[in-house]
Every structure is written in structure tokens, then in C-alpha cells.
Amino acid sequence: MSTTAENITEQTSALERLVNREEVLQICYWYQGEGFGDVYNATALGSFLNNCKTADINEALEELTVQGYLVAIASPPNSYRFTARGKKEGGRLFADSFADFQKAGHGECAAGCCDGDDHSRCGDDCSLH
């Protein structure tokens, strides 16, 4: 039977792996969106992932492949591409991460329907009318 400390270490390790996988998937999505390419490997992604060791990035890429988010490609070695499912999930994670930055500022129409102070065409989503 394992001790409490071992259980906590295992849980932390599992959580860290989950966070690494999600970060890697988001970076892959961003990387492709910025036009850097659609082939991902630890070398290409490493400079964008702070405090991640190459081994951890490779582990995340392999786990994402097992989960069906990425597919391994032959060349260059140890490289991957999105599956349709992976691109969709990467986009969702990326959007979720930046959702708070996409909100309208104070006094701005969150629905995007207003032109200046004219709220005559606003719908129910507009908080300013």
C-alpha cells in the first residue's frame, strides 16, 4: 500500500503531465496560427514553453499522440502534426486561455453591435441599452 506522500507525488505528477499536454497542444495551435508551420517537435516548441525540459515536451507529444490529438510523421524524426480532433481541442484550449482578454472594456458593447453611442440596433446581448 502506498503512503500519503507517494499518493500526493503521483497526483502532482499526473497533474503536471496534464498541464504540460494542454500547454503543448495550445502552443502547437498558436505555432500553426502564426505561420511557423504545421510540424511540431520538442526543438521547435521548446523556446515557447518556459521551464519545460525537452524530455517533458517529448513525453507530452507522445501522450497527445496516444490520445488522438497528434499523429507522428516520419520526417523530421520525432515530429508530429495535428489530427482534426487535436486542432479543434488545441483551438478550444487556446481560446479558453485568452477569453478574459477578449472581453469588452468598461463602457464597450460586448455584443459588438454598437457604433459609438448609437445603441438603436442593439439586441438583447448588449449591456449598454
What pLDDT does residue 28 have?
A: 95
pLDDT of residue 113: 58
pLDDT at residue number 20: 82
Q: Domain range for residue 62?
A: 4-102
Helix 84-98 / helix 4-33 crossing angle, nearest 10 deg: 100
Q: Which helix (H) or strand (E) holds 77?
A: none
CATH code for position 12 = 1.10.10.10
In whole angstroms, give the CA distance from residue 26 to residue 57: 13
Instruction: Report if residue 120 sits inside a domain.
Output: no
Provide the number of structural domains found in the chain.
Answer: 1
Domain-located, residue 8: yes
Is 121 a domain residue?
Answer: no
Q: Give the pLDDT of residue 52.
A: 80
Question: What is the structure's pLDDT at 87?
Answer: 95
The verdict on residue 108 lying in a domain is no
Tens-digit pLDDT string for the chain (129 aa): 455 555 545 555 766 776 788 899 999 999 999 999 999 999 999 888 877 888 889 999 999 999 999 999 999 999 999 999 999 999 999 998 877 766 655 555 555 555 566 656 666 655 555
- 20, 67 Cβ separation under 8 angstroms: no
Residue 127 lies in a domain: no
Whether 10 maps to a domain, the answer reads yes
Residues 6+ apart with CB under 8 A from 103: 110
**Whole-model pTM?**
0.68
In a domain, 113, yes or no: no
Residue at 47 is within a domain: yes
